[in-house]
Structure 1
């Protein structure tokens, strides 16, 4: 049954990508153009460092799949593309492996074809410390993702209905594994309050994984008879909203969810992400065109990231956090309601600029 569900997820997620379009809240972030800000391309480096982790590029293939024969092939192809482009990669949830050890190869194939790459294993927040260690050991993983998916579980016909043990379990896993722990949402966003909680639990990094990309509420609803949770289609915060909300949470953040192109990636980095992850678009690309198409897409993105950083005068991904940006539309309305003052973001490249502030004090 789990294998069938994994195949359903891939099929529906790919179909969603074919119908995504229009505005999302990355479009509410725009750069102030400074015509003399540009630097030499040779001075730009894509290297990014956070929480003791070093990646050669601020881009990664985020968690997607595994747990069936078909998804094992997809994981092989994704990991091959990661090897060829040098970007980090995460497996999908390894729950199918815990339920059926014969599914191990659908995940371990990633390490077999990408022996020297940075690979993140992925477990849910109900996993025991033993399962977390097994996941890390199976992949010789460099980090462990723990995904949070309350809304997905709520809509999933066979999903979990008890969530109170998740935070204590995360703390146990953090103490029980020897690799950095990255906690991520699956597409509904992490609030500042959640990030503060994760920091207290000892989590190394958080992936805000906001609304705007693959919608797991819709995926699970499509698997239901009757489709009676369609009212949750718009649940959660967007990735840019989460990044703006995260500024004083005191934990490194990654950005995924709704990233459509290199400009969105640069926007995410400018709002404080250490790296940007993509799932749905990369999945659609590898399904439609194979490994070669995905390698070409990622290689093109990396080239365009360098080009945009050159034009913006950012020698490193971190330097993008000093570029001037405007926040408009529904994203600006979110900031007003959450007490996040955005005016200083438009002048932070100058001496007038201050760090992110909130109305009534620093958060």
Structure 2
């Protein structure tokens, strides 16, 4: 059943790629164009560092799958693409491996085919410390993702219904492992209060993983005969909203959820992300065109991100935080309701203040 569920996830995730969606709040973030801000392309670096982690590029392949023969092939190809482009990669949830060790190979292919790359293990918030170590050792993980997913579990027919122990277990795991711990949502976003709690629990990084990409509550509802949890479709906050909400909360941030292009990557970096992940779009490219097509897409994204940095005058991804950005539409309304002042973001290139300092002073 677990293997079939993993295959169902892939099928339903791809179906979502073909379904019209609502407003993507990345489109409500725009750069102010300064015609003389550009720099020289050789002066641009894509390297990013945060929480003791150093990546050669700020784009990563976020958690997707594993646990069945078909998903093992997907993970192998994802690993090859990551190896050829230098892009970090995260495993899908390794809970299937804990339940059935015979599927270990569907996850270990990530390391076997990407021996020198940055690979993240992925577990849920109920995993025991023993199982967490098994996951890290299986793929020789450089970091650990712990996913939190109450909306998905609620819509999942066989999902968890008890969430109160998650906080304590996250704290226990963070204290027990010797790799950086990243806590991520699965597409519903992390609020400022949640990020502040994660900091207190000893977590190193928060991946806001907002609404707008793959909707796992919708996937699980699609596995229900009656589809009676449709009211959870689109639950939560977008990645741009989460990034703005969590500035000054004390943790380095990663962003994923609804990322469609290098421009979205640049937007997320400008709003404070240290790295930006995508999954559904990359999966679609892989299944439609094979590993060579995904390598080409990743290479193009990296080249175009460097081009955007050159035009905007950002020598590093972190320098995008000093670029002027406008916040409009529903995202601006969200900021107003949450007490986030957006005006200074449109004028920060003339100031020595960073995004963290600017937004942090208004909270």
Structure 1 CA distance, aligned partners of 2:341 and 2:20? 31
Q: Identify the match of residue 359 of structure 2 among 335, 357, 360.
A: 357
3-state SS in 1 of match to 2:172: helix
Residue 313 of structure 2 aligns with which residue? 313
> Aligned ranges for residues 158-173 of structure 1 at < 5 Å?
158-173=158-173
3-state SS in 1 of match to 2:350: coil
Residue 13 of structure 2 aligns with which residue? 13
Residue 243 of structure 2 aligns with which residue? 243
Residue 34 of structure 1 aligns with which residue? 34
Residue 64 of structure 1 aligns with which residue? 64
Per-residue deviation, residues 53-80 of structure 1 (Å, max 9, x unmatched):
0000000000000000000000000000
> Aligned ranges for residues 321-360 of structure 1 at < 5 Å?
321-351=321-351, 355-357=357-359
Structure 2 CA distance, aligned partners of 1:132 and 1:97? 11
3-state SS in 2 of match to 1:349: helix
Shift of 1:23: 3.4
> Aligned ranges for residues 178-217 of structure 1 at < 5 Å?
178-217=178-217
Residues 210 and 256 in structure 2, CA contact (< 8 A), matched pair in contact too: yes
Residue 298 of structure 2 aligns with which residue? 298
Residue 97 of structure 1 aligns with which residue? 97
Structure 2 CA distance, aligned partners of 1:292 and 1:20? 27
* Unpaired segments ≥5 residues, structure 1: none
Residue 252 of structure 2 aligns with which residue? 252
Per-residue deviation, residues 245-269 of structure 1 (Å, max 9, x unmatched):
0111110000000000000000000
- The 3 A distance-change label for structure 1 pair 353 and 5 is same
Residue 175 of structure 2 aligns with which residue? 175
Residue 262 of structure 1 aligns with which residue? 262
- Alignment TM-score, normalising by the size of structure 2: 0.98
Structure 1 CA distance, aligned partners of 2:190 and 2:94? 22
- Alignment TM-score, normalising by the size of structure 1: 0.98
Residue 230 of structure 1 aligns with which residue? 230
Residues 342 and 356 in structure 1, CA contact (< 8 A), matched pair in contact too: no
Structure 1 CA distance, aligned partners of 2:66 and 2:139? 13
- The 3 A distance-change label for structure 1 pair 64 and 41 is same
Structure 1 CA distance, aligned partners of 2:25 and 2:268? 11
Per-residue deviation, residues 99-153 of structure 1 (Å, max 9, x unmatched):
0000000000110011001000000000010011000000000000000000000
Residues 340 and 362 in structure 2, CA contact (< 8 A), matched pair in contact too: no
3-state SS in 2 of match to 1:203: coil
Shift of 1:232: 1.2
Per-residue deviation, residues 309-334 of structure 1 (Å, max 9, x unmatched):
00000000000000000000000000
Shift of 1:225: 1.2
Structure 2 CA distance, aligned partners of 1:200 and 1:115? 33
RMSD: 1.1
3-state SS in 2 of match to 1:357: helix
* Unpaired segments ≥5 residues, structure 2: none
Shift of 1:174: 0.6
Structure 2 CA distance, aligned partners of 1:5 and 1:352? 51
Shift of 1:15: 1.1
Shift of 1:98: 0.3
